[in-house]
C-alpha cells in the first residue's frame, strides 16, 4: 500500500501548451541553423509571441538546439598598438573586402563586400568570376550615387585596392583609404565579421548552379541581412531599422557624381 496525498493524486497540470511556440522555434532554427536562442527570441517577439527569453531558452535547451561554439581565450595583457577609428555617423567609415567561393562545377567566384561601419548595412555584394580595380571603382560609384561619399574606406592591401585607378578615385573625391597592417585582419574587423556571416549563412548553405544563380541567391540574402536579420550590436534591430532611426543627418548628401573611371590618368 502506498501512502499518497489525495491532492497529489488528483492534481492536474495547468501548464500552458507550448506546442505552437516549439513548432515555430523549430522552423526558425531549421531555416537559420546558426541562430542562438537570443536571436530566435527576437524573431519570435517580432511575430507576436509574448514569451520571455527564459522560457525560450528553456525550450531551446530541451529540444537540443544549443550551439556549441568554442571561442579562443583572450590574452588579457594584449593592448592595441594604435587607436582605432570608431564610426559615429552614417557614411563616416566604410569597410570592404573580397570573398572567394566556387560554382557547383568548381569554377571560381569572387565577391566584393562593402559595409557601412556605423549602421552595419551591407551596401553591396558584387559577384563575378574575376574582379579588378576598375570593378571596385564601378561598384563604389554606384553606391555613392545612391547614398553619398564616405569619409574613410578601410581595406586590406590587396592589389585591387592599392591600384592606381582606386587611388585616383579616392584622391579626386577626398576619400581617405585606411589600409590594414600586413597580417592584421583585425584592423578591418567589421567586414571580416560580415564576411563570416555571409559564408556561414549563405555560401555554405547553397549550391550555385551558375553566375546568375549565385548573384540572385546572394542578393536575396543581402536583403534579408539588411531588412530582417536582428543584429546584436544594434540592440537587436536590423541594419535598416537602425539606419532609419539614426540616419536623419548623414555626413554627406547623396549627390550623384560623374563616373571618372573613363577619364585620362
> For residues 195 and 258, what is the distance between their CA atoms, to the nearest angstrom?
30
> For residues 44 and 1, what is the distance between their CA atoms, to the nearest angstrom?
49
Q: What is the pLDDT of residue 1?
A: 65
> For residues 217 and 104, what is the distance between their CA atoms, to the nearest angstrom?
14
Note the pLDDT tens digit of each residue in 50-104.
899 999 999 999 888 877 655 445 444 334 444 567 888 999 999 999 999 999 9
CATH of domain 93-262: 3.30.420.10
Note the pLDDT tens digit of each residue in 215-252.
999 999 999 999 999 998 899 999 999 999 886 444 33
Q: What is the pLDDT of residue 247?
A: 67
pTM for the full predicted model: 0.76
**3-state DSSP call for residue 94?**
strand
Amino acid at each position: 500500500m502506498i501512502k499518497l496525498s489525495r491532492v497529489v493524486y488528483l492534481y492536474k497540470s495547468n501548464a500552458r501548451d507550448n506546442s505552437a511556440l516549439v513548432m515555430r522555434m523549430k522552423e526558425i532554427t531549421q531555416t537559420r541553423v546558426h541562430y542562438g536562442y537570443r536571436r530566435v527570441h527576437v524573431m519570435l517577439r517580432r511575430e507576436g509571441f509574448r514569451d520571455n527569453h527564459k522560457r525560450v531558452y528553456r525550450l531551446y535547451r530541451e529540444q537540443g538546439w544549443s550551439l556549441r561554439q568554442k571561442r579562443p581565450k583572450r590574452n588579457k595583457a594584449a593592448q592595441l598598438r594604435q587607436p582605432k577609428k570608431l564610426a559615429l555617423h552614417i557614411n563616416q567609415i566604410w569597410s570592404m573586402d573580397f570573398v572567394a567561393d566556387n560554382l557547383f562545377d568548381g569554377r571560381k567566384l569572387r565577391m566584393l563586400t562593402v559595409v557601412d561601419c556605423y549602421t552595419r548595412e551591407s551596401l553591396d555584394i558584387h559577384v563575378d568570376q574575376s574582379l579588378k580595380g576598375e570593378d571596385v571603382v564601378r561598384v563604389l560609384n554606384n553606391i555613392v550615387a545612391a547614398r553619398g561619399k564616405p569619409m574613410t574606406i578601410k581595406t586590406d592591401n590587396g592589389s585591387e585596392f592599392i591600384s592606381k585607378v582606386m587611388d585616383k578615385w579616392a584622391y579626386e573625391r577626398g576619400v581617405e583609404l585606411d589600409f590594414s597592417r600586413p597580417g592584421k585582419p583585425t584592423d578591418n574587423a567589421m567586414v571580416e565579421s560580415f564576411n563570416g556571416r555571409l559564408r556561414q549563412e549563405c555560401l555554405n548553405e547553397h549550391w550555385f548552379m551558375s553566375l546568375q544563380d549565385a548573384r540572385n541567391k546572394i542578393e536575396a540574402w543581402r536583403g534579408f541581412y539588411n531588412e530582417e536579420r536582428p543584429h546584436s550590436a544594434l540592440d537587436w534591430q536590423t541594419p535598416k531599422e537602425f539606419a532609419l532611426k539614426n540616419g536623419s543627418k548623414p555626413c554627406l548628401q547623396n549627390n550623384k557624381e560623374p563616373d571618372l573611371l573613363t577619364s585620362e590618368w
